[in-house]
Amino acid sequence: MRRGGKQLALYLVVLLGALVILVPFYMILVNSFKGIRESALFGMGLPSEWLFANYEKVFEQGNIVRGFKNSFLLAGLTVLCVNLFASMAAFVIQRRDDRLMRSLYLTFIIGLIVPVSIVPTIRLMDILGIKGTYFSMIMYYTAVLLPFSVFLLVGFMKQIPRELDEAAMIEGAGFFRLYFRIILPLLITVLVTVSIVVIVSVWNDFFGPFYLVTDSTKWTIVLQIFNFVSLYNTNWGVVFAFMVIVVLPVLLVYLLLQRYIIDGLTAGSVKG
């Protein structure tokens, strides 16, 4: 009976946590079909009249195609850079395992704790002459997301036996051939997890593009919200419709690849 009671309590806690997450999504979805007055009440009830015109206005007025293009471009190139740099760094750190590499690994761990400083970042980009470019944003996201990716990959790399390296070296493989032909294919599971984390982080980020990008033609999809929000007159039905469209791609990616997230996050947690 005690065991059954504990399981029931656990299910109730999980259900409550799910409701806390799902209720805001429900509110956004329902209000995206309401008119300007009804949606401004932020109610939880169904709309008195279902207005699909809110979604039409989003595509007509919001430069949404350009926003999607910028977000896909930044997310895709950031995924490529993070996966490449993090996997190579993790490979060297785990295989050499000397004092220098341990210090370097500790530096990455500190990067997980230290917050991002926007003002010095803007100043550095200004000095380098890359402020407001796609390249600056890709390097910014790569630097921010690299510590977590290295941390995850180093833990997974411990499961790959060193005998594979020695056998490849005996066969005449160099460092880069060893990395690209043998090590990299073994990292696919955890790299998928890293990719999902990177995509979600880049896609949902508001403050990075807001402070670092001055050209509105390079705004990501999240920043396109300014096309619908004003100081004195805001159609919240259109804003909620915009939110649904923005969230949908990331939600689909997560639902399709969610099993890789668990596999990747737990990789390296068990020795043997």
pLDDT exceeds 90 at position 189: no
Q: What is the reported pLDDT for 270? A: 47
Find the largest Cα–Cα distance for the chain: 73
Average pLDDT (61-73) is 85
What pTM, to 2 d.p., does this model score? 0.83
User: Which residue would you say has higher pLDDT here, 10 or 73?
Assistant: 73
Q: pLDDT per residue over 220-232, tens digit each? A: 888 888 777 776 6
Identify the CATH class of 62-227. mainly alpha
pLDDT tens-digit readout, 226-258: 777 776 677 888 889 988 988 888 888 878 777
Check pLDDT > 90 for residue 61.
no
Mean pLDDT (the chain, rounded): 84
Q: What are the sequence ranges of the domains in the chain? A: 62-227
Assess contact for 143 and 82: CB atoms under 8 A: no
Question: Looking at residues 37-58, what average pLDDT do you find?
Answer: 85
pLDDT at site 38:
86
